[in-house]
Chains A and B, each alone.
Chain A
Amino acid sequence: MIATAARRGLLTCATCGLLNRPCRPIEDAHCARCESRLHRRKPASVVRTWAFLAAAAILYVPANLLPVIHSGSLFGSNANTILGGVLYFWRTGSWALAIIVFVASIVVPATKLAVLAMLLVTSQRRSRWRPADRTRLYRLTTYIGRWSMVDIYIGAVSVALVQLRPFAAIEPGPGAIYFGAVVILTMLASESFDPRLIWDPLDDAKRDDAAPARPSSRPSSDGAAEFQSP
């Protein structure tokens, strides 16, 4: 059986990783090393993640339906949605770029929404299904989310460079605001989710044979965990 910090009444600092033994009250505990606020689990993790996720899901619709870019020239003007940008690369033969933009702008946000919703539902139902795989999935979504921002940057550079009025000009469309908001909201959602909630049902089920929490040794003198030398 695996001992957990929660069961021993210890708190891990979310910022510097130091394991702390808090005095009462636990609500007002701060890390002995970096002075960040300590929490047993990320505060209101499930509610906050759902809130960010719901907002992101709603904004995902206008982000994909509204144009992110207007390109105008003497020959007429053109409004491009995100998918339109992908199709443009595809038609002009830049297949690699089409795939990069498609994955970063469409697949990644949609996958993030789906994965986080699945993680929330399974941890709310106290599922014990494949916790290691779910943790790995969470790690992956946290890492890849930032790359969705690439579409915003492509737009920003295009807008700044193509100002050749009256011959050609590129302007940002309303979709860009929604798309940027979706990226930020999904990043906030994955930051709010606490992967330890995936493991809590497994640990709580074994609570019967858990030893009562007691100090394992005296605190060291100066507040820092040992840095291991070889």
Chain B
Amino acid sequence: MAFPTTPLVACPECDALQREPALVPGGSADCIRCGAELYRYKPGSIDRTLAFLLGAAIVLVFANLYPLLEMDARGLRSSTTIYGTVSALVEQGTPSVAMLVLATALALPVIELAAMLYMLLPLRLRRVPPGLRIAFRIVNVVQFWGMAEVFLLGTLIAFVKLKDIAPVHPGVALYALGVFVFLLTAADAWYEPRAVWHCARELGA
């Protein structure tokens, strides 16, 4: 059990205790000692984050339904989806690597999207979702371990590399993945934990 305190903030990186400054829109509060960004005032944080999340959820469907890359070697065709990379690794005898790819490239970004929507959509509709605290903590962990953007880079490099073996064509999912990464990154950039708590407090959580 703990009691809250007055608007003081301690830097998470150097522990320096300081007063919370008032910010202009878009402004950030940086630690007086080590310069770490403590928080940022993002006007319309919840609305904008939600907009990007909803867009990301739609393109995510296409990113998973269509092939990522297609190869055409004189009549021998092969193609793969995002999940196809996971099942290929299982079939080729490296289930541990397959699980790593499944978790970091697919499962965790999906969980991040779902947990953020679960948290922000009701708040936007002026309701506090049950388990808000748990969803918040899930988002916090999953943001660190989800690596959709790194997977996109890996796919692009593989695309260039495999062109030497046989003609490779980008599939619908590659474009969709590109848009998904952009939208999820934008959602992360507009997401501000303080706005979540501020909104929840207004609603009496």
Residues in B9-30 with C-beta less than 8 Å from chain A: 9-10, 12-17, 20-25, 27, 29
Q: Mark B24-57, 1 if CB is under 8 A from A, else 0.
A: 1101010011111011010000000000000000
Verify B4–A176 contact, CB threshold 8 A. no
Q: Mark A81-121, 1 if CB is under 8 A from B, else 0.
A: 00000001100101001001100000000000000000000
Verify B4–A20 contact, CB threshold 8 A. yes
B83 to chain A, nearest CB (A): 9
Complex alpha-carbon distance, A219 and B151, angstroms? 46
Complex alpha-carbon distance, A44 and B198, angstroms? 33
Verify B17–A8 contact, CB threshold 8 A. yes
Interface class of chain B by DSSP: mixed
- Complex partner residue of A227 from B71, B80, B162, B195, CB under 8 angstroms: B195
Residues in A108-155 with C-beta less than 8 Å from chain B: 131-132, 135-136, 138-139, 146-147, 149-155
CB neighbours of A176 from chain B (8 A): 94, 97
Verify A219–B35 contact, CB threshold 8 A. no
Identity of the chain A residue whose Cβ is nearest the Cβ of B34 in the assembled complex:
A135
Give the interface residue-count category, chain B: 35 or more
- Please tell me if B2 contacts chain A, counting CB pairs below 8 Å: yes
Complex alpha-carbon distance, A175 and B29, angstroms? 44
- Please tell me if A23 contacts chain B, counting CB pairs below 8 Å: yes
Known: A10-B10, A131-B14, A224-B198. A150 touches B154 (CB 8 A): yes
Verify A153–B14 contact, CB threshold 8 A. no
- Please tell me if A76 contacts chain B, counting CB pairs below 8 Å: no
Q: Count CB-based A-B contacts (< 8 Å).
A: 269
Known: A23-B2, A157-B85, A157-B155. A228 touches B9 (CB 8 A): no
Verify B5–A20 contact, CB threshold 8 A. yes
Residues in A137-184 with C-beta less than 8 Å from chain B: 138-139, 146-147, 149-164, 167-168, 171-172, 176-177, 180, 184
Verify A2–B16 contact, CB threshold 8 A. yes
Complex alpha-carbon distance, A44 and B161, angstroms? 44
- Please tell me if A17 contacts chain B, counting CB pairs below 8 Å: yes
Complex alpha-carbon distance, A8 and B3, angstroms? 14
- Please tell me if A15 contacts chain B, counting CB pairs below 8 Å: yes
CB neighbours of A200 from chain B (8 A): 15
Q: Mark B66-78, 1 if CB is under 8 A from A, else 0.
A: 0011010100101
Verify B97–A161 contact, CB threshold 8 A. no
A9 to chain B, nearest CB (A): 11
CB neighbours of B1 from chain A (8 A): 22-23, 29-30
Q: Mark B176-205, 1 if CB is under 8 A from A, else 0.
A: 000000000000000001110110110000
Additional 14 contacts, C-beta under 8 A, given A131-B34, A150-B150: A4-B15, A18-B4, A29-B2, A35-B133, A97-B157, A154-B158, A159-B89, A162-B71, A219-B3, A224-B4, A225-B9, A225-B197, A227-B194, A230-B41
Binding site for B on A (CB under 8 A): 2-6, 8, 10-12, 14-23, 29-36, 38, 88-89, 92, 94, 97, 100-101, 131-132, 135-136, 138-139, 146-147, 149-164, 167-168, 171-172, 176-177, 180, 184, 187, 191, 195-196, 198-200, 203, 216-217, 219-220, 222-230
